Structure 1
Amino acid sequence: MTHFPAQIKIPATYMRGGTSKGVFFKLTDLPPAAQTAGAARDNILLRVLGSPDPYGKQIDGLGNASSSTSKAVILSRSAQPGHDVDYLFGQVSIDKPFVDWSGNCGNLTAAVGAFAISNGLIDAARIPADGFCTVRIWQANIRKTIIAHVPMHNGQVQETGDFELDGVTFPAAEVQIEFIDPADDDDGAAMFPTGRLVDELDIPGIGSFPATLINAGIPTIFLNAADIGYRGIELQDDINGSPEALARFETIRAHGALKMGLITHIDEAAARQHTPKIAFVAAPQDYVASSGKTVAAADIDLLVRALSMGKLHHAMMGTAAVAIATAAAIPGTLVNLAAGGGKRQAVRFGHPSGTLRVGAQAEQQNGGWKVTKAIMSRSARVIMEGRVCVPGDCF
């Protein structure tokens, strides 16, 4: 009989944050080889989620066969002055052997504060028995500050509540999140990598489209739905069931990444699936969300559909919501124009699962645009706590 290495057990927490789910780890609980970036860390996370899986189901891991659920988070006490916790996010590919560390997950951000409080990563003096605990998060992927306001009751994180979030089945406690200075620099130039609010994106073999290329929350390419043959009311099956449509979006995304300076050659986009995102916008109209409820045009400012890891997202990525809020606040972007134009500090947009309200504070400085913060409400809760098992030779 051939003997193989036994499995090892790693402390982990399975959490929902916003409309995503992920496996959360304390950095110090990982095997020593995985406490620093590299192949060992990536291989462990791939095995935890059940990737790469040529069947696309992640049956042999904790992933649920969608970009929204193939995620990992590593947290530690912050090494940054004025912050409580360092938050590192890995987007784990489902069918390929790689982990994308190029961006943040805004949805899982909602769970970071709760995990940090419950796992001893926040100084006890900063945790109130009741009210809200303000958790100062350093987002290590994009080197940005995020503030989470986590509700507390009797010294414990309050997870249950009546806050409803479209795309999530059950209500929970509301967690307000502030993304501080979500763009890259002080003069506004990097927020729009080309220096323009609207570019003409030329895609060989496909066509030429107006596009807003923005780097706020996460690098995002915004298109007009009508310019690419859509109405803005599409649900997942309308796009994800068409290999041709997905291939076209990926080609547009790759050329947008090149124009944004995120890659130097078009072929590099295949290994950078998490960023940039691609989304399309339209003026409000009535539609039926994936839950079956009707979303009225009068209740929203615009329609937005976004793709993540090559598929139309079932709701909206939190980081893309930051990009939407930021672009909506700046007159002249495609997002702003779809919402009716003019200056605004908040929008409610329609997505496949329902609606979401997001806000951003924008002002002109030195001839460019500066966004000081973007704000949204999410919710989070622990689904399971314990230890996750992986074969001892997987890393």
Structure 2
Amino acid sequence: MIYKVPATYMRGGTSKGVFILESALPAALQSDPKALDQFLLRLVGSPDPYGKQMDGMGGGSSSTSKVVLISPGDQKNHDINYRFAQVAIEEAFVDWSGNCGNLSAAVGGFAINKGLLSNRSLPENGTVSVRVWQCNIQKTIVAHVPVQDGQVQESGDFVLDGVTFPAAEVQLDFLDPASADESASAAQGVFPTGNPVDTLSLPGGNAIPATFINAGIPTAFVNAGDIGLTGTENQNDINQDQQMLSFLEKLRAQAAVKMGLISAESEARQRQHTPKIAFVSPATDYVTSSGRGIIADQIDLQVRAMSMGKLHHAMMGTAAVAIACAAAIPGTLVSQAAGGASSEVCFGHPSGTLTVGADVEEQGGQWQANSVSMSRSARTLMEGWVYVPE
């Protein structure tokens, strides 16, 4: 038996994924989470010991092994529901524990194109603010989608580092981005431990400072210099170093326990999407993966982040939310690397730079995040059907 399901292949930010209306899924998949996971694995071509996902829609990287499920909104004052699946490449595992901030840029346009906002009066020209309920993390995202002549505008002159061609700008507002379903309580604010700086242990017992934050996506930040890195690394510098990859995964597992996401480090293997591990350093000159030179005066700090066990080629949107919040709060490793707390920072990543802004405030001795804003772009790449063996 072959499932034939209507689907759209879209780029959102620096990621790509298969977008599907939940109502278009076979009834058996809608009612059985395990069967849905098996369907999504086969859809993208996982598990694949070759790491290429040749027999599926995945592209052999964490940035392209993604599926988005969209349905009409069932929350008050929200237009749509958005569920995100991060599908492992070499293992038979689908991680529903977090959001994809990059693909968040595409969900609004997809919903408009599919008529999910038919109950609203949309402008012929201008911007449509789509209120998105992100089901994985139980949070609101507002996507400001440009429209022209009554259609979603995808072409434009906005340049996003990590994406070769310009497109229309989509502004995203992540409201109250601190994770609601993780260990962080309201009393702890954005810090799951209540502290802007904690520690992680290196082999041999030496401790290094770390900032744990639950905003956008649970993320653990360390200083690049404390783990023998410069902070200017590109993908090949990290992803071809198996010893470094193993070391960073051990740090991530340790951080997951300290953040209350898992009870033992051995459980981290089944929670690959979260938390993220990232390393920061002060602004310095460097060369991007495309060969473009960035000078220190153009940025406030350097950040590199791991995604599904590999260094990300640019920056995950959700990790950018965490960076924005941490940069705005005094004392975190991120704000220290930036030379002080700021409500807006521009950071360097392997593909270039990204500017993010955060509205944070201190309440009762704890820091709360009200919103984070950034700009991405999105484009429809293909529309039709996916054929998935049962």
Q: Same fold (TM over 0.5)?
A: yes
Task: Decide which of 357, 362, 365 is 1:364's aligned counterpart.
Answer: 362
Aligned to 1:252: 251
* C-alpha spacing 1:189/1:352, structure 2 compared with 1 (3 Å): same
* C-alpha spacing 1:165/1:206, structure 2 compared with 1 (3 Å): farther
Q: Is the 8 A contact 1:284 1:298 kept in 2?
A: yes
Q: Does 1:377 align with 2:372?
A: no
How many pairs align? 386
Aligned to 1:112: 107
Q: Does 1:325 align with 2:339?
A: no
Q: 1-side partners of 2:21 and 2:187: how far apart?
A: 35
Q: Does 1:149 align with 2:148?
A: no
* C-alpha spacing 1:37/1:358, structure 2 compared with 1 (3 Å): farther
Aligned to 2:384: 386
List per-residue Cα deviations over 1:111-148 (Å, max 9, x = no partner): 00000000111134242211001100000000000000
TM-score for both structures, normalised by structure 2: 0.97
Q: Is the 8 A contact 1:187 1:365 kept in 2?
A: no
Q: Does 1:175 align with 2:180?
A: no
List per-residue Cα deviations over 1:314-349 (Å, max 9, x = no partner): 00000000000000000100000000014x110000
Q: 2-side partners of 1:127 and 1:142: how far apart?
A: 28
Aligned to 2:292: 293
More off after superposition, 365-374 vs 132-141: 365-374
Aligned to 2:337: 338
List per-residue Cα deviations over 1:30-62 (Å, max 9, x = no partner): 111112451111111111100000111000001
Q: Is the 8 A contact 1:211 1:223 kept in 2?
A: yes
Q: Is the 8 A contact 2:59 2:65 kept in 1?
A: yes
Letter in 2 for 1:44: F
Percentage of pairs with the same residue:
61
Aligned to 1:56: 51
Q: 2-side partners of 1:388 and 1:265: how far apart?
A: 38
Q: Does 1:19 align with 2:14?
A: yes
Aligned to 1:90: 85
List per-residue Cα deviations over 1:63-87 (Å, max 9, x = no partner): 1100000000000001111100000
- Is there any run of 5+ residues in structure 1 with no aligned partner, and where? none
List per-residue Cα deviations over 1:294-321 (Å, max 9, x = no partner): 0110000000000000000000000000
Letter in 2 for 1:63: G
Q: 2-side partners of 1:203 and 1:126: how far apart?
A: 57
Q: Is the 8 A contact 2:189 2:367 kept in 1?
A: no
Q: 2-side partners of 1:21 and 1:37: how far apart?
A: 26
Aligned to 1:78: 73
Which structure 2 residues correspond to residues 120-159 of structure 1 after superposition, within 5 A? 120-159=115-154
Question: What SS is found at the alignment partner of 1:244?
Answer: helix
Question: What SS is found at the alignment partner of 1:45?
Answer: helix
CA drift at 1:355: 0.1
Q: Does 1:101 align with 2:99?
A: no
Q: Is the 8 A contact 1:144 1:182 kept in 2?
A: yes
* C-alpha spacing 1:206/1:104, structure 2 compared with 1 (3 Å): farther
Question: What SS is found at the alignment partner of 1:107?
Answer: coil
Q: Is the 8 A contact 1:184 1:190 kept in 2?
A: no
Letter in 2 for 1:381: R
Q: Is the 8 A contact 2:13 2:377 kept in 1?
A: yes
Aligned to 1:240: 239
Q: Is the 8 A contact 2:179 2:217 kept in 1?
A: no
Q: Is the 8 A contact 1:51 1:61 kept in 2?
A: yes
Q: 1-side partners of 2:106 and 2:336: how far apart?
A: 33
Q: 1-side partners of 2:357 and 2:187: how far apart?
A: 18
TM-score for both structures, normalised by structure 1: 0.96
RMSD: 1.2
Q: Is the 8 A contact 1:162 1:173 kept in 2?
A: yes
